[in-house]
């Protein structure tokens, strides 16, 4: 069985997914779970999977978007009937499938700007690194949190990244050592495989990509997206004694791989 995913296979599944997406509009994680179920059901012959395994895999892969839960999850070896290569292949194809056919759909989402009116100021749009974002949530009385979601190239660059999260199995990857911490990979530990095929501990990659945007081994630029968080805090301006509130805005970001 080839390790490369068949584009033919992805195309067939994508037609089913587009059909499916027309009917459903629900919570993103549930949405992802159902899409993976559909995909696996359609290709169960190819993977020789039992029904309960199909559920387990779909659930497992749908948790990819939640990094904490993903790292806490028991190892992938809970699927008894498949070899390491098959496990790797299923996980990889599921993620590529998501990049190719689900994530790109979000690029077309409409912009919807929310005004933040505070101290007589109005914020409609924010430009950061020439990227346009939208504000989606404001809460609490004095501290205004607003999660910013990229609306222009965020999903596109994420979809182009093709970085995958997989468990490490000896003999499948290009190398057996993490170049960030210098340690050998343990069987079953979670790794991030970049599109250049270089592999790093998933946790190590987080530290690395806080500062860098290229592979730690070959220095190839890695297309990954930054999720931006904005925290608004209003303070009383003491100097002009008007009691007018000013907004202080703190912007932070963290790498998002999926
Ligand atoms: Zn490491
Ligand atoms: Zn590389």
75-90 residue pLDDT tens: 565 565 677 888 888 8
pLDDT the model gives residue 241: 63
pLDDT the model gives residue 236: 60
The stretches in the chain having pLDDT less than 70 are 1-10, 20-28, 65-81, 104-158, 223-258
- Domain containing 83 equals 1-108
pLDDT the model gives residue 189: 84
pLDDT the model gives residue 122: 45
Name residues with Cβ closer than 5 Å to ligand 2, which is an ion.
196, 198, 215, 217-218, 220
pLDDT the model gives residue 75: 57
pLDDT the model gives residue 185: 95
Long-range contacts of 10-19 (CB under 8 A, 24+ apart): 10/93, 10/96, 10/97, 10/100, 10/101, 12/42, 13/38, 13/39, 13/42, 13/43, 13/97, 13/101, 14/97, 14/100, 14/101, 16/42, 17/101, 17/102, 18/101
pLDDT the model gives residue 88: 86
Per the structure, the count of domains in the chain is: 2
pLDDT the model gives residue 50: 85
Shared domain check, 87 and 32: yes
Cα of 250 to ligand 2 centre, how many Å? Answer: 33
Shared domain check, 125 and 245: yes
Q: Does the residue 247 lie in any domain?
A: yes
Is 70 within 8 Å of 165 (Cβ atoms)? yes
């Amino acid at each position: 069985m080839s390790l490369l995913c068949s584009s033919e296979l992805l195309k067939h599944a994508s037609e089913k997914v587009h059909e499916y997406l027309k009917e459903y509009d629900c919570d993103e994680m549930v949405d992802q779970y159902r899409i993976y179920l559909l995909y696996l059901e359609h290709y169960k012959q190819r993977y020789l999977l039992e029904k309960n395994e199909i559920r387990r895999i779909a659930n497992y892969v749908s948790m990819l978007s939640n990094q904490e839960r993903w790292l806490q999850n028991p190892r992938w070896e809970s699927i008894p009937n498949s070899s390491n290569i098959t496990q790797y292949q299923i996980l990889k194809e599921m993620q590529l499938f998501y990049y190719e056919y689900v994530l790109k759909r979000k690029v077309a989402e409409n912009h919807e700007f929310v005004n933040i009116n505070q101290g007589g100021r109005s914020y409609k749009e924010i430009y950061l690194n020439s990227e346009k974002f939208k504000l989606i949530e404001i809460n609490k009385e004095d501290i205004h949190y607003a999660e910013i979601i990229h609306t222009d190239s965020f999903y596109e660059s994420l979809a182009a990244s093709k970085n995958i999260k997989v468990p490490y199995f000896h003999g499948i990857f290009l190398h057996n050592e993490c170049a960030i911490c210098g340690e050998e990979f343990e069987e079953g530990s979670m790794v991030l495989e970049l599109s250049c095929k270089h592999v790093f501990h998933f946790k190590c990659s987080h530290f690395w990509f806080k500062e860098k945007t290229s592979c730690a081994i070959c220095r190839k630029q890695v297309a990954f997206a930054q999720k931006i968080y904005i925290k608004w805090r209003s303070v009383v301006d003491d100097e002009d004694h008007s009691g007018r509130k000013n907004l202080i805005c703190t912007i932070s970001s963290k790498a998002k791989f999926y």
